[in-house]
Structure 1
Amino acid sequence: MLLAHGVGSRTDLPIPIGFALYGAGAAILASFAVLLLFWRSPHLGGADSGRPLPAGLQRVLDGAGPRRGLQAVALLVTAFVVLVALGGPEETSRNLAPWALFVTFWVGIVPASLLLGPVWRFANPLRLLHRLLRPLGPAAPGAHRLPALGLWPAAGSLLVFVWLELVYPDRSEPITVAVFVLAYAAVHLALAQWFGEGWFAAGDGFEAYSTLVARLSPWGRRSDGRLVVRNPLAGALATPGQPGLAALVLVLLGSTAFDGLTRTVWWQTGPGSANDWFSGTVGLLLSIGLVAGLYVLGTRLSGRLAGQDERVQPGRYAATVIPIALGYTVAHYFSLLALDGQTTWILLSNPFGAEGVDLFGTYGNRVDLTAVSADVIALVQVGAIITGHVVGVVLAHERALLSARRARASDQLPLVLVMVVFTLGGLGLLFGF
């Protein structure tokens, strides 16, 4: 069924689930102990670290021409998907639009941003439309309010999308895709008229998500504007401490936790048995709230033990949760992209379902379920979650060194224990434990 995410069950795991849980918890604690013993001073470099790209290449990458070209292509593709949603086959299994939105775009934006940087900031078609519409309205009277809003609007925008993806019963209907894309564009273009072009960085959930993931890419930008190649962990720590950053990360983390929860027998035979929007909405919000509560508790306790203002700790450590959220995302969506992602290219050969049309000779193909084995899927899932948490521990330790110039175990232990809970909970939900 579409949007089942193709996540393996615990029977796919080639080792007992108990061993995986114990091993994951031990890996987090062991990495923490090693850091305390051998990582006594900052090692990752500051926001201005990295090797600059050649000046000529930077001029090309920062030029208006390439950006406008990418945005124009993205606009044409988006318009095409909407047309297919409205005029293509009514059956979800034969309509390209749901697969293009929920699989190719939503899942594909992660590897694209990891490899290439904040691609959606460059290719966002709404930016191009805004420039065309900007002369028709006032000169951004609300632009001065954007810094105070931070990333809170993007967190809300992303929450709306994950609600559609995970909760709304008719999410896979082609008409739903068309209505969502058009409504999303209309709302954000209207808000951009008021707040200015800076709205997209602060309020467009997809652009903020791509930018967040790109913090772990090898590409970065120094404070002087120079593009550099640098340690991805340094890029994550250089994430600006904006209001709402923690909320954005926790929406991603909590929504993937809910995604795993909906696969458990307890949910399917209990709270989620009705498969309605109300129980799903409550479950999604409670999942995000639980994850957020544990994170805030861990960071504030760590701050109190370190003698620091505990109120600023959730924002200070927000960037350290980026690899954890990314690990959850890879674990939940890897098989979806590898298996169900094939459907996009199959249907692209005949997007409107016309008789006798097969543009690329793939329309009669079936999804190759053997392209990635169940063992590989399960190992990627476990590896992604454990790696994400280990990297998160490293970043948290580095952040503690930068903020206090000391790294006592007692100060960091509450946050590390929360990460262990996230690891065990994430693996347990992922494999239906």
Structure 2
Amino acid sequence: MKSLLSARSGNAMMMVALGMPALIGAMGYGVDTAQWYMWQRELQHSVDQAAIGGAWALAYSDDADYKTRAKQEFNANQKITASFASAPTISLANFDGGTANSVLVTATATKKLPFTGLLLNQSATVMARAQARFKEGSKFHACLITLKQDGTTFQIGGNAHVIANCGLGALSCSDDAITIDGSATVETTSIAACGTVDVPESLQGTVTENASGLTDVYSDIPIPEPDSGTADQTKKKYCEGNGNKAIANLFPGKYVGGYTAKCATTFNSGIYFIDGGTLDLSTNATVVGKNVLFVLRKGAQIKLGGEGATGSITLTPMQAADFQSTPYAADADRLSQMLFMEDKTDETEPASHQINGNTNLNIEGVLYLPNGDVQINGDSGTTSKLCFQISAYTLDIRGSAYLRTLCDYDDSSLLGTSTPIVRLVA
């Protein structure tokens, strides 16, 4: 017995025997941990992608079937846990003070682990949760737009009163791209700029600053040009008759050096090419033009409105059908509704255009002046009961000008579309 107690030759075997359960347990636990982590990682990635996919669907369309998109993304990312993962639970959730502005996805995966499942005869469950916030891209419309891409390009000051619920916009990406003095009165539903704006507190709720994707939607419209068949209508004298009975009956064609309405003037339907000079309709004469398009060339300028209250100007644009018998029939739909178009070919300096005085101005259509500095001042009475839009290089409304256009927001020019935003937040 004494010899047995003093023997040391079997110690190593005993230690191995005593430590073997712990060693096997540690190895088994390590295998289970790796297995569990792999399940968790794949399941989490699947719900992440599901939440992001559902959020993108809603960011582009209110009516999107976001649940179907989320399930597709979940299933596409399943491999190891595909056979024992639960179907994802997909719902809308509130985030950061918003309402139903995020997609929430949860899922579980339940299965026995190789080691602990054998010992305990129980399954292990892993759970994953993901939440993705979305913000829809916005469409910006505007009927008063400035196209210059830097500097302060849109100014409203003095006691000017502007009613344009169809929106204001500026492509300038500079600070104070749009400025509105506190003394001016502006009624609008939207003010969007690539840069920042400086407007009264009462208008802050309509402002979108640093908007991306703003463009000149008319920049690629082909501008009509005179050809060999275009009549030269230039005359030294246009008015016929004497005194208040004098009239000018004008026809489409080319007018070199512009035209000044020194008497009651009728523009017959068609395209008028103003080659240089000024189209001056600021003389208080009565001016009427139905279904007309004025193309300003070679730096031609326009002046609308007079100094008295006796004159009136009524102008409406050509419709698509009016272009069918012209060389521009292929672009009829795009050219329709254009009232003034400025051809800035070879022009290095902006042309100056003015709208002033008390003349009753009723115009419809688009004034597209990409090379024009437009100034509306004095007591300009643009009390139009029609929809007109101005898209110019710069726009300055000052004095006691009164400018009103009745375009609906959705019917005004598309200024641009901002990019939707999706972000994984949990």
Which structure shows the bigger proportion of residues in strand conformation? 2
- Which TM class, normalised by the smaller chain length? under 0.3
TM-score (norm 2): 0.22
TM-score (norm 1): 0.22
Which structure has the higher relative contact order (CA within 8 Å, separation 6+)?
1
